[in-house]
Amino acid sequence: MGVNIVLKFIAIIIASVVLLLNFPGLPPTQEFTAFHVEPPKKLEGWMASNSILDQAELYYEGPHVGIESMVVLDDNNIITGDLSGALFRIIGKQKAVNITHLEYPCSVEEPHVNSDHERKCGWPLGMRLDNSGNLLTMDYFGGLTKVNLKTGKYENLVPKHVPIEGKIGHVPEDVHMAKDGSIYFSDGNTNPSGDFNEELIGQPSGRLLKYDPVKNSVEVLLDDLHFSNGIFLVDDESFILVSEYGRTGVRRYYLKGEKKGQSDYFVDGLPGYPDNIRSNGRDGFFMPLYEPWNEQFSMRNHVLSSYPLLRKLVFRIRFLLLTILRQALNLLPNNAYLIDLESYIKGYGPLLKTLQGPKVATVVELSKSGDIIGVFYGIKGDITELSQFSVGKEYGYMVSPSNNKVWRIRLEELKGQL
């Protein structure tokens, strides 16, 4: 009798799982595959811990957060932008002049933004100059944008809302022009929901793309990147690097030679989740880690990475629970217990930790062959969640999309360690 009930119970569970995994149209509908996140390499000596970035000074504090990228033309000549859509030039300590405001329709997929059609939004992310001195930037709302820095006029080269090979890139990330005028750029996430957390623990879907301005066409070079972030086209254009936030590594895509069209890992096992890649002023790279991966903290997206069916099941159960909870909240709108439960499930409970990162700054220096040759930390807590480190003549400059500040540090402070 008892055994019978247990068997029936197991049968019902199995039948539910099979039904959930095969139910047509229930999101997420895309195929889930196994992925691998290489745990952090063991770092030795000063690279394991230091507080070098704490020598940085606050250089500029603006009215708006969202300073994700910048072009450092020189010390005291920096082009950057923020979440108000403003593009501005910093011309000295705490001195800036606006260049223009990017204005695109506010995307309906952004819950913090009204979905009415009148309102305009702009948020320039990755930026670099093109070969004629115009600014290229990936606007969060608009996509690939070219800006004349003298007149402030701008042109939407590749609009975000137009699908490329059937998919929309939800997070336009970074851009780099080749000598022949073609433009490489990255999309963070093309999952149907556009959800960042779904990208991290669900199915990697970021892309590396190439825009041909003559044919006005876009080619997809890689489409399985784990939240593709910063890119870097090396000087001889033999390969292009793309950082993969969710995989704590940097992919190298070959543009020339025997391996043309193939990719491998330039570096992985980083002690955190990488962002923009910029020159270190010699022949290597500086790349911040937006959040660290150490004994105290990891995003945990690697935990279920080998079990695609289990991950898909989690997502479908989550979808059903959220649907039920939304109905329940319609009946009991202010029920604190239901509200807490909803935010717990939305945040994937114990499966993912994206928001509670420790208050540290991390910048990795890589050699031209991908070896980690420096790791610089800030531990005071004022500098966190860095997205880019760019060098001028005497200073290195740091920005963070969650902040309204630009910090700078004398490059000597970094070289002292090497």
Question: Residue 90: which residues within 8 A CB-CB, separation 6 or more?
Answer: 59, 60, 76, 77, 78, 80, 96, 406
* 111 within 8 A of 117, measured Cβ to Cβ: no
Question: Residue 112: which residues within 8 A CB-CB, separation 6 or more?
Answer: none
Label residue 185 exposed, middle or buried (CB < 10 Å: 0-12, 13-18, 19+): buried
Closest CB 114 distance from ligand NAG, rounded Å: 17
Is position 63 an interface residue for ligand NAG (rule: CB under 6 A)? yes
Amino acid identity for residue 154 in this structure: Y
| CB closer to ligand NAG, 96 vs 352 | 96
Amino acid identity for residue 354 in this structure: T
SS3 405: strand
| CB closer to ligand NAG, 107 vs 404 | 404
Burial 42-68 (b: 16+ CB within 10 A, else e): eeeeebeebebbbebeebbebeeebbb
On the CB side of 176, how many CA atoms lie within 13 Å of its CA? 19
Is position 86 an interface residue for ligand NAG (rule: CB under 6 A)? yes
Selected range binding ligand NAG among 97-105, 255-263, 275-283, 289-297, rule: CB under 6 A? 97-105
Is position 363 an interface residue for ligand NAG (rule: CB under 6 A)? no
Is position 84 an interface residue for ligand NAG (rule: CB under 6 A)? yes
Adjacency order of strands within the sheet including 143-147? 124-129, 135-139, 143-147, 154-159
| CB closer to ligand NAG, 85 vs 172 | 85
Q: Strands 183-187 and 263-267, how do they pair? A: unpaired
Tokens 């895509």 found at: 253
Is position 80 an interface residue for ligand NAG (rule: CB under 6 A)? no
Taking the C-alpha atoms of residue 376 and residue 396, their distance in angstroms, rounded to an integer, is 12
Q: Which residues pair with 71 in a beta bridge?
A: 79
| CB closer to ligand NAG, 32 vs 104 | 104
Closest CB 70 distance from ligand NAG, rounded Å: 15
Taking the C-alpha atoms of residue 132 and residue 181, their distance in angstroms, rounded to an integer, is 10
Nearest to 166 by CA among 132, 207, 138: 207
Closest CB 400 distance from ligand NAG, rounded Å: 18
| CB closer to ligand NAG, 122 vs 246 | 122
Size, binding site for ligand NAG by CB under 6 A: 8
**Cα 9 from chain centroid (whole Å):** 43
| CB closer to ligand NAG, 69 vs 190 | 69
- Residue choice 37, 47, 70, 96 for contact with ligand NAG (CB under 6 A): 96
Closest CB 80 distance from ligand NAG, rounded Å: 12
Is position 263 an interface residue for ligand NAG (rule: CB under 6 A)? no
Selected range binding ligand NAG among 94-102, 166-174, 351-359, 386-394, rule: CB under 6 A? 94-102
Closest CB 98 distance from ligand NAG, rounded Å: 4
Question: Residue 347: which residues within 8 A CB-CB, separation 6 or more?
Answer: 197, 354, 355
Is position 400 an interface residue for ligand NAG (rule: CB under 6 A)? no
Q: Which residue is nearest to ligand NAG (CB)?
A: 84
Amino acid identity for residue 294 in this structure: N
Residues 143-182 that bind ligand NAG (CB under 6 A): none
Is position 98 an interface residue for ligand NAG (rule: CB under 6 A)? yes
Is position 51 an interface residue for ligand NAG (rule: CB under 6 A)? no
SS3 383: coil
**CA distances to 250, 268, 415 from 264, in Å:** 9, 10, 29
Give me the 99-138 binding string for ligand NAG, x by CB under 6 A, dash otherwise: --x-------------------------------------
| CB closer to ligand NAG, 84 vs 134 | 84
Closest CB 122 distance from ligand NAG, rounded Å: 9
Closest CB 165 distance from ligand NAG, rounded Å: 34
Selected range binding ligand NAG among 71-79, 95-103, 105-113, 191-199, rule: CB under 6 A? 95-103
Is position 186 an interface residue for ligand NAG (rule: CB under 6 A)? no
Selected range binding ligand NAG among 92-100, 235-243, 380-388, 393-401, rule: CB under 6 A? 92-100
Selected range binding ligand NAG among 81-89, 182-190, 278-286, 327-335, rule: CB under 6 A? 81-89
Residues in contact with ligand NAG by the rule CB under 6 A = 63, 84, 86, 88, 96-98, 101
